[in-house]
Amino acid sequence: MRPLLAILRKDLTIEGRARELAPSMAVLALLLLTAGSASGMVNAAPAMLWITLLVAASLGLARSFHQELDQDQLSALVLAPINPVLIYVGKGIANLLVMIAVEGVTLFAFTILYNVGVPREPGALALVLLLGTAGIVMLGTLLGAMVAVARTREVLLPVLLLPLAVPLLVAAVRATEKVLAGQGIAAVSSEVGVLASFALLFGAAPVVLFEFVVRE
């Protein structure tokens, strides 16, 4: 527990001081939403929202692992007597918090630019947002670590993330559509099923695979 909290605290402190991730992701998200709205995508509002979140996440998460490589910090982490998965979990939670902050701003702009009203069942929307965001962050953190450790081109993060995230995208968009149109939790049960399975898969996979990612 102590190592996990230490890693989480470290990541949040660094983000708090460097302030690299959250602002750039937020600005990018706002730009995408604006471009979409201006070019007439208002009818496809839910799609616009989730694509924006995915793209902003994929660009932000690519950077988040770099701080472990510029001075070979990762070696020291791998050497420490901790379960390597904790590195993933700590980083994941930190990324989630950053993502939630970015999402707050994004949602605010979204309701304004796309003329979105309050849904009849806000709880349902919150659930979809939560599951969707968790899924994006879990997969994105894993891929971010992989792309950084392999010293491969940063553009590969979105290239890898987007196809794998298709189930999340499809389910989240359809669920958001339905909820914004006034439907309730029951109507989006299969979509929530997909989102939950996705979160489960990409929550469980790193537990097994992360060690192989970080140890040479």
Q: Which of 130, 170, 185, 187 binds another protein (CB under 8 A)?
A: 170
* Residue entry with tokens 């709880």: 123
Q: Which of 160, 179, 180, 192 binds another protein (CB under 8 A)?
A: 160
**Closer to another protein at the Cβ: 109 or 173?**
173
**Closer to another protein at the Cβ: 29 or 214?**
214
**Closer to another protein at the Cβ: 113 or 148?**
148
**Closer to another protein at the Cβ: 10 or 105?**
10
* Positions 24 through 53 that interact with another protein (CB under 8 A): none
Buried b (16+ CB within 10 A) or exposed e, 125-163: bebbbebbbbbbbbbbbbbbbbbbbeeeeeeebbebbee
Long-range contacts of 157-162 (CB under 8 A, 24+ apart): 157/58, 157/59, 157/61, 157/62, 158/55, 158/58, 158/59, 161/54, 161/57, 161/58, 162/54, 162/58
Asked if 2 interacts with another protein (CB under 8 A), we say yes
Contacts of 201 (CB under 8 A, 6+ apart): none
For the record, the structure tokens of 101 come out as: 């902050």
Residue 173: CB atoms within 10 A of its CB come to: 21
* Positions 71 through 100 that interact with another protein (CB under 8 A): 71-73, 75-82
* Residue entry with tokens 């553009």: 155
* Positions 188 through 207 that interact with another protein (CB under 8 A): 190-191, 194, 197-198, 201-202, 205
Q: Which stretch binds another protein (CB under 8 A): 3-11, 36-44, 95-103, 104-112?
A: 3-11
Site residues for another protein per CB under 8 A? 2-3, 5-6, 10, 13-14, 17-18, 67, 70-73, 75-82, 139, 142, 146-147, 149-153, 156, 159-160, 162-164, 166-168, 170-171, 174, 190-191, 194, 197-198, 201-202, 205, 209, 212-213, 215-216
